[in-house]
Amino acid sequence: MVFWRTVMKNLIVLAAFVVMCGVASGDPYHVVYDFETGWSEDYAPGWENSAYRHGPAPVGKMMTQVAGGYGGSSGMKLTADSVPESSMWWAAVNPTGVNSVAMQKQYDPWVSVQYYDECLTGVAGQVYAVPSWVNPYLSGGEDWTDIQFGGRFTVTDDYYYTAAGENYPGWQSTGVDRAAGWHELKMQLLNADGKIHFFLDGVEVGASYRNDYADLGSSIGLYTMFQNPLSGWGDAKPYTIWDNFEYGSSYVVPLPGAALLGMIGLVYAGRRLRKMV
């Protein structure tokens, strides 16, 4: 009897500890879009056209790339379909439902994607993020925090990144030549120094001049950048090709409520059994 009481006591303590630390029993935040399943609408499930804070946005449409994705799988083709103003040179899309808490600075949030660079003249792709405003210095109290990384349609020499803000230095060259083929573009906000670091094919190629970010933001996505006007492209509208869009952080996703209730039930049952013993 003493033996079983000791066993149950230890089980109860262990179960209670698991319940109290239930959040730590989940998985780190990680979302993947591999574009392997086709879709019939203008946007892949879980994606939408990106808004423009100063008015109507250009329209980018996502189409299934049947073949030629990263590693030979399927990919995604992002086409600049229309623009409300002829002076606009971009079209963008973004995933919905990004966990804003998980993308906070203390969790070292990141976003990455595979980009197929065709090295075409006048068109290029970029991954982007819009961190929260922390320094409202612009007229109207705005903080321009946009982050962009990838190719540029105006130059074809290197890959570039930019981190907007007060007195920002503009586009920064990675020093790496653009080359046809698949390339991984990744950016990560590191809690250690507060900067956003840029990685090309797994190698760090630069960092933001700013170190005051509170998060990487819940507005992350992809750009097709092109030489305007869009009307000049005729029926052969500019596009970029992508695959394996991923984002995440060290934030641990809480266990589902049912799992936590099950643990609580284990503690309760253990207590009942202890009394019976």
Q: What is the CATH number of the domain that holds 149?
A: 2.60.120.560
What was the pLDDT predicted at 78? 97
- Structural domain boundaries enclosing 145: 29-252
In which band, very low, low, confident or very high, does the pLDDT at 102 lie, cut at 50, 70 and 90?
A: very high
Window from 17-31, 61-75, 97-111, 120-134 with minimum mean pLDDT: 17-31
Q: Is the same domain home to 270 and 184?
A: no
Q: Is the same domain home to 14 and 80?
A: no
Block residue for tokens 């492209």: 233
What was the pLDDT predicted at 66? 60
The domain total for the chain is 2
Alpha helices for the chain (secondary structure H):
2-20, 257-276
pLDDT by residue (tens digit) across 38-82? Answer: 898 999 999 999 999 889 999 999 987 667 789 888 999 999 999
Task: Provide the 3-class DSSP secondary structure of residue 255.
Answer: coil
- Answer yes or no: is pLDDT of 275 > 50: no
Residue of higher predicted confidence among 160 and 269 = 160
Nearby residues of 6 by Cβ (< 8 Å), 6 or more positions away: none
Q: Is the same domain home to 158 and 115?
A: yes
Q: Is the same domain home to 140 and 205?
A: yes
Q: Is the same domain home to 89 and 37?
A: yes
Task: Provide the 3-class DSSP secondary structure of residue 15.
Answer: helix
- For 4, 68, 92, 143, the CA distances from 277, given in Å and listed in that order, are 7, 65, 65, 65
Which has the closest alpha carbon to 122: 159, 164, 153? 153
Instruction: Read off φ and ψ for residue 105, nearest 5 degrees.
Output: -50, -45
Q: Is the same domain home to 152 and 181?
A: yes
Window from 97-106, 172-181, 242-251, 258-267 with minimum mean pLDDT: 258-267
Q: What whole-number distance in Å separates Cα of residue 59 and Cα of residue 80?
A: 6
Single pTM value for the model: 0.84
Nearby residues of 112 by Cβ (< 8 Å), 6 or more positions away: 127, 184, 185, 186, 187, 199, 244, 245, 246, 247
